Structure 1
Amino acid sequence: MEVSAQQRHELQQVLLSKFSGRDDLASLLEKYLHLNLDEVVSSASYEGVVSQLIDFLDHRGQIGDLFYALDTTSLNDPQIQALQRSLFPSALTLRRTPRTAHGFVEPLLVGGDALPLHMVLVPGGTFLMGSSDDEPERKEDEGPQHEVTVPPFFMGRYPVTQAQWRVVAAMSQVKRELHPDPSRFKGDNRPVEQVSWYDAVEVCARLSAHTSRQYRLPSEAEWEYACRAGTITPFYFGNTLTTEVANYKGNSTYADGPEGEYRAETTPVDHFGIANAFGLCDTHGNVNEWCQDHWHDSYAGAPTDGSAWIEGGNPDKRILRGGSWYDLPRYCQSAHRYPYVPDYLSYFLGFRVVCSAPRALHLPTG
């Protein structure tokens, strides 16, 4: 993408008006783009710094990354959104390289080798859970929107892979047996699928026994908070979805998004090389992900502390999040939720694991 002279001028004015000085701009770049401002610009004046930064990012094809950071820190700013639409008509601002995230690596031993389970720190915070009344193709069970305060926790960077599953399936049984190779679409780095909610809970129990850390499925609130990563749009990418960034039924469209490729199978985790602001990959599409909670057909009376809602509701149905390769794009929205019986098996069902931060924070990070 080549930035025109007019767009360059408008972007420069946005940066000059939104950031009071060099230090504020440097903090944004360090947090979201992992760039040291002093290493990429040399001008003494702030206006010169901004101009050189735009040149640097444009040359490296990272203007989109800059807008990702701006959109995350200045949600619904009309000036930023107007310029973003001018530069990115598809309304998708993408981070093509997964950001460096804080966390740790859980080594799953295979013979003498360690297969890594990457756990990412999801910082605590407050967010608006559910979809707004005017969000395209929303469902009533995605409301009412409500504030939830989520404590920090660790979450798998990716859905559990088939290679990771095989290691855990060989561990000592806790409550139930696990099929060593249940997936329809084979591949070590593809997400495991055709696993029930009970199977996913058993994996968490085995990991807990093996590591002495309490692994579990995410609560529904934790899952949505982690997926959104500070965004309020239907997808963390923006207002629509394309098959260049996610694996779903691409011959269908959402809002003004284009038709794309329908792959009709899973893809390796992080196939697209994209992470959200927390460093999580594959939260939209590929495989649906099990959550802890009982099914409730609305959020009336839902917990506001990020915990799983396992009181009342329908305990015979659990919740799926994220959509899959098999699903229409509207089922991949950040707020979309769907009930399934917990013993159901299908080639579009997977999961990822979480563990609480206070205990895990005593581990070496990596």
Structure 2
Amino acid sequence: MTTSSSDQLTGELAKQQIERFVARFEPNYGYLACHCALPLVLTPELVNYIRVQFLLNQEVPWIAEADLLLSELCRPVGYELYAMTPAIRSHLLAQFETSEFQHKFGRNRLKSVAQLLMDYVTYLMGTHPPSRQGEFQAQQWAAMVYLDQHRTQAEEEIATALQGLVNRGKNGQAELARLQRLIQEFRPQLSQYDSLMKFAESLGMWLKGKIPPDASQSYGVHGVNLSLNPVTQLEGFPAMETFEFEVVTIGLGAGTEIELEPFEFEVTTIELKPTGWFRRKPELIINRHQQQAYGFTEDLGNGVELEMVAIPEGSFMMGSPETEQGHREEESPQHQVTVKSFLMGKYPVTQAQWQAVAALPQVNTELKPNPSYFKGENRPVERVSWYDAVEFCERLSQYTKRQYRLPSEAEWEYACRAGTTTPFHFGETITTDLANYHGNYTYGSGSKGKYAQETTPVGSFGVANEFGLYDMHGNVWEWCADHWHSNYEGAPTDGSAWEDESKNDNDNDNNWRLLRGGCWGNVPGSCRSGSRFIYVPALWHNVYTFGFRVVCGCAWTL
């Protein structure tokens, strides 16, 4: 897909999301969304401030503030922090140029919103310590570029920040990518500044790992000399790390490079809205929004591919609280774990992928070519032991020259939660519209649903978590690398697998391993993010519920 067609698709998706939002509520909600599209980051306080200052006469109710922030137009980016995608922001801001908006609000309404935002950010900068000023600068620039009297100052500040980051070399690369992305968002307002836009284009090429043809050229922007010379002249400088860009190149050793490419996917969350008498009966509302992540595709031959997703490093609280429905002692104590970045299979390993790898040369043990009970190329492979899964990874590693393995238990839970702390990455409950489990049972305020009594093709529900992973709840249990431990006392806090050397030296098959995620035959409580299951590594082949997904243990950087 070309860049232009990709942009058109992204723009059309944004338009449809906005139309669904307005149709779900009322046209006045659209006015609030447009006014809130100017800030790069939204807070409940800022949304309230905008509504009170501009829309009290438009019959926009106070509840619209929460409805906007919790809709598919916004995504959480921190505690009580929300952001719209560039495509949604662009489409909403364009409404201020329409005759309808200008007739209703006047020709200068967008400038008025920009001035309010600038005053608001200036107030925040004056009431917070210097260490937090950087958090507000981009928000301030977003307002300044719409104000004639401040646009030149914004350009000068952006140019100064750009050259300062270029001079930092590799240490400034992630921030450079963020700033380059901001300039692209500000392009309609900065288009008169030809030098700044040309430098941003060259910077974009460099961030993709290419040397731009004008790399040695300097651009003067209000006395600031912009040039890529400080980085392009560094011998051996790796052009591999970037932040939310078209392609990211990561190195795995001599001769093994991977290009990460962006992909779009739909994320779903479940909202429980009180209804009925005394608001005691919760209504289950499924909210959907588009998200972007990075990944690459491994060619297994004969048209079979393995899709891998980049999982960013981070920290999370592993385990479940004692107050969580379905909590068991082995999920305690909750503890903080810091996980390094890695790549994980977008789906559980399918039967087609299994057959492709099982045909490769044996490393340690034999693999049955088609062990699954429920047949289907795109269904997850099942009836595989822990040893089978390890052999699969070793054959795949030998074939690709990249190190594949099973995920550690901490990596699996971190990837499943994807920043959430609820029982499921969907939210407080689960539904058979989104996952394959025993639908005759319920969890929390959820309802009964379908019971398929078999596996379903991977990704068939069409929704992923915030990291871009599918089928993390239900379908098949997934093997992890760790030995089983009855609780988390003494567990590693660095995301590594918790293995006991004494058990590794023991040749018998009673050294329990563990699985995560639940399966098609489990009650929903067993499919929670924190749920754990124990089994012997040498599987009895009448178990139709055990599968796995792979990890490529390569670190990468946003």
Relative to the length of structure 1, the TM-score reads 0.79
Does the aligned pair in 2 maintain the 1:122–1:153 contact within 8 Å?
A: yes
Shift in Å at residue 94 of structure 1? 4.4
Q: Does 1:165 align with 2:373?
A: no
Structure 1 residues 321 and 94, CA, compared in 2 at 3 Å: closer, same or farther? Answer: farther
In structure 2, the partner of 1:183 is: 372
1:236 corresponds to 2:236: no
Q: Which amino acid aligns with 1:85?
A: K
**For residues 473 and 419 of structure 2, what CA distance do their matches in structure 1 show?**
15
Q: Structure 1 residue 101 and structure 2 residue 293: aligned?
A: yes
CA distance in 2, matches of 1:240, 1:126: 24
- Residue identity opposite 1:301 in structure 2: G
- Given the superposition, is the C-alpha separation of residues 249 and 67 from structure 1 closer, same or farther in structure 2, using an over 3 Å criterion? closer
Bigger fraction of residues in helix: 2
Shift of 1:36: 4.1
Asked if 1:148 is matched to 2:334, the reply is no
1:206-229 CA distance string (max 9 Å, x none): 010001110000000000000000
Find 1:29's aligned residue among 75, 84, 88.
84
Residue ranges of structure 1 left out of the alignment (5+ in a row): 48-64, 72-80
Q: How does 1:25-174 map to 2 (within 5 A)?
A: 28-30=83-85, 35-42=87-94, 43=96, 44=110, 46=113, 68=269, 85=273, 89-90=282-283, 93-95=286-288, 99-110=291-302, 114-174=303-363
Deviation at 1:86, TM superposition (A): 5.4
Cα distance change on mapping 1:151 and 1:92 into 2, 3 Å: farther
The CA deviation at 1:100 is: 3.3
2-structure distance, mates of 1:278, 1:66: 9
Mapped contact 1:101–1:121 kept (Cα < 8 A): yes
Q: Distance in 2 between matches of 1:119 and 1:126?
A: 21
1:254 Cα deviation (Å)? 1.0
Amino acid of the residue matched to residue 335 of structure 1?
Answer: G
Counterpart residue number, 1:13: 65
Q: Number of matched residues?
A: 319
- State the identity as a percent: 50
Partner of residue 528, structure 2: 333
Counterpart contact for 2:267–2:466, Cα < 8 Å: no
Q: Which has the higher contact order (CA 8 A, sep 6+)?
A: 1
Report what 1:206 is aligned to.
395
Match of 1:350 in 2: 547
Q: Which moved more, 1:253-262 or 1:273-282?
A: 253-262
The answer to whether the Cα contact below 8 Å between 1:219 and 1:307 also exists between their aligned partners in 2 is yes
Judging changes above 3 Å, is the alpha-carbon distance between structure 1 residues 247 and 175 closer, same or farther for their aligned structure 2 residues?
A: same
Distance in 2, matches of 1:168 and 1:157, equals 17
Segment drifting more, 88-97 vs 179-188: 88-97
Greater Cα radius of gyration, structure 1 or 2: 2
**1:28-65: CA deviations, max 9, x gaps?**
222xxx73411344232659xxxxxxxxxxxxxxxxx8
Give CA deviations for 1:48-94 in whole Å, capped at 9, x if unaligned.
xxxxxxxxxxxxxxxxx8995xx9xxxxxxxxx8xx63599455644
Of 237, 241, 256, which aligns to 2:445?
256
Equivalent residue, structure 1, for 2:37: none
Instruction: Kindly provide the CA deviation profile for residues 302-358 of structure 1, in whole angstroms up to 9, marking residues without a partner as x.
Output: 000000000279761111100000111111000000110001142110000001233
**1:270 aligns with one of 459, 464, 472:** 459
- Using a 3 Å threshold, how does the CA distance of structure 1 residues 66 and 193 change in structure 2: closer, same or farther? closer
Cα separation, 2, equivalents of 1:297 and 1:207: 31
Q: TM-score, normalised by structure 2?
A: 0.53
Q: Distance in 1 between matches of 2:502 and 2:445?
A: 36
Provide the secondary structure at the position in 2 that maps to 1:330. Answer: helix
